[in-house]
Amino acid sequence: MPDATTPIRVLTEPGVYLIGRQMVQTAELDRFLADHGVSWASDTSVAAEVVTETAGRVCYMSFAKPRPGGNAAYLGHIKEVGHGSVLEHGVWNFLFTGVSRSLTHELVRHRAGFGFSQLSQRYVDESVAEYVEPDIIAADPELHAVWLDAVTHAHAAYVKLAEALNAKLADPKAATAALLPPDADRTTRRKAARQAARSVLPNATETKIFVTANARALRHFLESRGAAAAEPEIRKLAGAVLDVLQRESPNLFGDYRKVPLPDGTFELVTDFKKV
């Protein structure tokens, strides 16, 4: 069990796990097409690309005589004309780890088309001592020492407070005063202790967040958080997410380019902004 003396583990790179993607029920799509007297098949095997093209073609029932160029041309046109609602039908499930609480505070500001499930600091013990250091601080030994000192002290205070509060809440009087049952079990006491103790944890505290988002929302995230003006940690995450998405779906995300910035990082740029 980690305690106040557990060495601080410093993280600088986000973990990006692609947990889920869509699949197409081809038989059902074919049944719909047959019921309407048409036959059509997309030329892509990427489910999100098939689904978004199908959704778009339903709008004009344009299955019978598709224009040349296949799915790439179709979705390219959707981006060009800004028919972005069609892109909402493509969905991915990600798990991000090794990111700071300040990053997730920014991430959860994205509302439309996003779903979030984040590690609870009330239920989960934070004494594991993992903290995310900004690159600009990590690159400077003097600043790194100041940062590490601050994080180490905050971490020690958290562990001390969590232990002391936990012990205190074992007293029925203290438990009642904290609106807990007088005989509150260990889990309930620990939750009450952690929720108060976490107030001293810094923005740098590592967290994990499960994120489900559609292609339109992801594009908005990539543009706003991949921009040069965005905070560097979330810009780094946006770059890592783009890498995954460009492998997953070149036709939905292939238009983004990584443009180098003077500090050695890069920004994400597209000709089709906020589709």
Ligand X SMILES: Cc1cc2nc3c(=O)[nH]c(=O)nc-3n(C[C@H](O)[C@H](O)[C@H](O)COP(=O)(O)OP(=O)(O)OC[C@H]3O[C@@H](n4cnc5c(N)ncnc54)[C@H](O)[C@@H]3O)c2cc1C
Does 108 contact ligand X by CB under 6 A? no
Alpha-carbon span 180 to 189, nearest angstrom: 8
Tokens describing residue 12: 């600088």
Q: How far is the CB of 21 from ligand X (least distance, A)?
A: 21
Q: How far is the CB of 214 from ligand X (least distance, A)?
A: 11
Instruction: Classify burial at 143, counting beta carbons within 10 Å of its beta carbon; exposed 0-12, middle 13-18, buried 19 or more.
Output: middle
Q: How far is the CB of 172 from ligand X (least distance, A)?
A: 43
Binding mask 197-236 for ligand X (x = CB under 6 A): --------------------x--x---xx---xx------
169, 178 contact by CB (below 8 A): yes
Instruction: Classify burial at 25, counting beta carbons within 10 Å of its beta carbon; exposed 0-12, middle 13-18, buried 19 or more.
Output: exposed
Does 111 contact ligand X by CB under 6 A? yes
Q: How far is the CB of 202 from ligand X (least distance, A)?
A: 19
Pick from 109, 122, 153, 257: which binds ligand X (CB under 6 A)?
A: 109
Work out the end-to-end distance of the chain between its first and last CA atoms, rounded to an integer number of angstroms.
49
225 belongs to the catalytic site: yes
Q: By C-beta, is 153 or 274 nearer to ligand X?
A: 274
The one-letter code for the residue type at 124 is V
Pick from 21, 110, 160, 258: which binds ligand X (CB under 6 A)?
A: 110
Of 225, 235, 247, 257, catalytic: 225
Please give the residue whose beta carbon sits closest to ligand X in the complex: 111
Strand partners, 266: 260
Pick from 112, 164, 170, 177: which binds ligand X (CB under 6 A)?
A: 112
Q: How far is the CB of 115 from ligand X (least distance, A)?
A: 12
Does 88 contact ligand X by CB under 6 A? no
Q: Which residue, among 117, 124, 100, has the nearest Cα to 202 in the 3D structure? A: 100
Which is it for strands 206-214 and 130-132: parallel, antiparallel or unpaired? unpaired
Q: By C-beta, is 7 or 262 nearer to ligand X?
A: 262
SS3 131: strand
Alpha-carbon span 158 to 200, nearest angstrom: 6
Residues designated as active site: 225
List interacting residues with ligand X (CB under 6 A). 109-112, 217, 220, 224-225, 229-230
